[in-house]
Chains A and B, each alone.
Chain A
């Protein structure tokens, strides 16, 4: 369930971010509590808490004292923007490496992309 190529708390944060991006958590919606998430993912609550703190520090979540954590307004857009910047490193670079290994030219790649979009 969780990506094990990164520290656990980072993977937890990314899972919440995914939820925000795909609309599961709309802006101003509450997110699960630290304990709930820890129990669900079977991880230490401190780790879940660290993940949440990452998101609070990044402005993606806001903490409302005594009530819980909520998705910050504008979080979806901010995340989209951030992930766009990382997209090149995370997806394009590996794609090109693999393509190079298989001898797929840039034109072939473009063709493939066009075909996939049309499907």
Chain B
């Protein structure tokens, strides 16, 4: 079953097109990664899918229906956003109590265990919590909600590496025992790459890449060696990146079958390209292409 489907979903603000025609389909019971630079549209997409913000155009279906003002659908979703506002006077325990009532599948024992592990001071006023503790509240709610669709929008701002690792481990363990659809947006791509089954990369409100992580593994390849050999290998190929130091060069390119063998036989070293590296290369290439088009059209205008 497809848990989430969007068709040409768009959200235009006066100053910016936060989302500009996004069409994706997310299968249920998978961990999906939503990647993108700041301002790419990740948060906007999740806000749209949880009915918090209204779309400018396009359509979306969450669990088969529109989520806007739809209590039935929204009761099955949990959205943990890094910028969640809480009432000034609230303590963590107040939020947890309300969350327990709002999510039909809430597991209090699991919540208590997580509160312990993340050392969350529940009786303290939220205003007095550190950024990491604030994130911990979101993580506890997101995990303990057992919501069939759970969105995590960069849920670990302020968490140290140990706490992040704890989050990944708890998420994985709970996901294994109680499968649900998870959408995780993050900047720590390498840390979560092995957890993700499917990845969507957004760039300036559009989908740059939408693929299963298994396919992405051989989407790109990095070759290095003598500059002349590298450049020979690069002819006619889509190059994502090329750096050189003297007579040596390293290049990343989109891969084709047999590339690895061919590169080795050409005397080049071959390295795999991690998801994070692929992400950086693709977004940089996209930005460069956008700049090129912009300058071309500016020149067009100037020449007319």
Chain A interface residues toward B at CB < 8 A = 4-9, 34-35, 38-39, 41-47, 50, 94, 97
Residues of A within 8 A of B173 (CB): 39
Q: How large is the interface on B (under 10, 10 to 19, 20 to 34, 35 or more residues)?
A: 20 to 34
Could you tell me which residues of chain B, from 160 to 216, have a CB within 8 Å of some CB in chain A? 168-169, 172-173, 175-177, 194-197, 213-214
Is the contact region of chain A dominated by helix, strand, or loop, or is it mixed?
Answer: helix
- Taking a contact as CB atoms under 8 Å apart, the answer to whether A42 and B169 are in contact is yes
Nearest residue, chain B, Cβ from A89? B261
Which of A7, A9, A45, A97 is B176 in contact with, Cβ under 8 Å? A45
Q: Assuming the A-B contacts A42-B168, A42-B169, are A4 and B274 also in contact, with contact meaning beta carbons closer than 8 angstroms in the complex?
A: yes
Cα A96 to Cα B177 in complex, Å, equals 49
Residues of B within 8 A of A5 (CB): 270-272
Cα A5 to Cα B177 in complex, Å, equals 30
Nearest residue, chain A, Cβ from B218? A7
B194: min CB distance to chain A, Å: 4
B226 interface residue, CB < 8 Å from A? no
- Taking a contact as CB atoms under 8 Å apart, the answer to whether B176 and A43 are in contact is no
**A-B contacts, 13 listed (Cβ < 8 Å):** A6-B272, A7-B218, A8-B214, A8-B217, A35-B176, A35-B177, A39-B169, A39-B176, A43-B172, A43-B195, A44-B172, A45-B176, A46-B30
Q: Assuming the A-B contacts A35-B177, A39-B176, A97-B264, are A47 and B169 also in contact, with contact meaning beta carbons closer than 8 angstroms in the complex?
A: no
- Taking a contact as CB atoms under 8 Å apart, the answer to whether A42 and B195 are in contact is yes
Cα A41 to Cα B194 in complex, Å, equals 9
Residues of A within 8 A of B270 (CB): 5
Cα A73 to Cα B271 in complex, Å, equals 36
Which of A4, A47, A94 is B272 in contact with, Cβ under 8 Å? A4
A45: min CB distance to chain B, Å: 5
- Taking a contact as CB atoms under 8 Å apart, the answer to whether A47 and B197 are in contact is yes
- Taking a contact as CB atoms under 8 Å apart, the answer to whether B194 and A47 are in contact is yes
- Taking a contact as CB atoms under 8 Å apart, the answer to whether A45 and B175 are in contact is yes
B31 interface residue, CB < 8 Å from A? yes
A47, A50, A97 interface centre (most CB from chain B within 10 Å): A47
